[in-house]
A and B are shown apart, each in its own frame.
Chain A
Amino acid sequence: MTDRVGRLSRLALLLALATVIHTAEAFLPITVVWFRFGFANIIGLATLYLFGFKDALLITLGRIFLGSLATGLFGSPAFVLSLAGGICAILAMGIAHRLAARFFSEIGISLIGAVAHNTAQLVAAYFILVRNRGIFLLFPMMLLASIGTGFINGFAARFFITHFRKISPPSIPHESTTAGADRHQASL
């Protein structure tokens, strides 16, 4: 019981954090910074490491829906773009984390996510917005930008994950004694 509440409250905290970052980032003027940093992805990546793929997907979907409601972009093309990018990024990071976590650190996984995000967004923009192959001229620029943002985000996610693990114990079943674990299983 307790661990489920703890898990739920931590996930709620992560979702709130991701939504706030997502919303705050939407206020960056696009004329100055023509790409987004995707800082909200830090939380997605951290959730992937801390809680696993399903919860990371939930956090990502949740922050895109809630964030777009907060910015008033729900249902707009920008929302569809960030939905496509977010889903692809978390899928790519989940697969990479599952298959290649031994080879990559958080930075590598974050880079994969950033590249997947930008590529998916460009393809989605081609299909729903522009319908002109000229849009793929942006790809090299977006790839370069995603190397930078992926690196920064991986760095930040590393910090977030270590910090999160220190301030809150990994999960309560790990701490419980054998008797406590038995009781826990019985209660399930």
Chain B
Amino acid sequence: MPRCGYPAMVVDVMNLKAYIRPADWVLIAFLLVTAVLSFFLIPRWLMSGATEVEILAGDRLVGRYPLNHDQRIEVPGPLGVSEIVIEGGHVRFQSSPCPHKTCKAMGNLGTEGGILVCLPNEIVVRVGNGQPDGLDAVSR
């Protein structure tokens, strides 16, 4: 390698080939492959954590249902039967005997998680994997 006016020490270090070992290249290649693979595998792993819909009537657990399986569930409450529909990865109140239909107005929930409540009919629909979710604050 020509000196190019640099001190010999700089030239020594710049000459990567003189000291980098085969195992270094293997490590770099391995890490690159891991990085590329994890771009695909980690989102899949995160999504596979089967999101569940948990339905409570009063303090009784009606059941847990997978969010990715379309079905309708009829839940009896003090006022009558509420109909909860799981469709296309979302859950919503289809019909409810309550007077104001606030629960229907709450719309639907997907994998992002959350909670739907029908207070008069004492029904709670919770979506999530049981972990507290989202950030309240970020500081640095």
B1 to chain A, nearest CB (A): 15
> For residue B19, which residues in chain A have a CB less than 8 angstroms away from its CB?
105-106, 158
- Contact (Cβ within 8 A) A104 B46: no
Contact A136/B131 with A111-B31, A155-B13 known, Cβ cut-off 8 Å: no
> For residue A137, which residues in chain B have a CB less than 8 angstroms away from its CB?
42-43, 46
Max count, chain A CB within 10 A of own CB: residue among B13, B27, B36, B133: B27
B15 to chain A, nearest CB (A): 11
Number of contacts between A and B (CB, 8 Å)? 77
Q: CB within 8 Å of A: which of B25-62?
A: 27-28, 31-32, 34-36, 38-39, 42-43, 45-46, 49
Q: Tell me if A30 is interfacial: C-beta within 8 Å of chain B.
A: yes
Q: Tell me if B135 is interfacial: C-beta within 8 Å of chain A.
A: yes
**A138 nearest CB neighbor, chain B only:** B42
22 example contacts (A-B, Cβ-Cβ < 8 A) are as follows A77-B139, A103-B23, A104-B23, A107-B20, A112-B27, A131-B132, A132-B132, A132-B134, A132-B135, A133-B46, A136-B42, A137-B43, A139-B38, A140-B38, A143-B34, A147-B31, A147-B32, A158-B13, A159-B10, A162-B9, A162-B13, A166-B9
Using CB atoms and an 8 Å cutoff, list the residues of chain B in contact with chain A.
9-10, 12-13, 16, 19-21, 23-24, 27-28, 31-32, 34-36, 38-39, 42-43, 45-46, 49, 131-135, 139-140
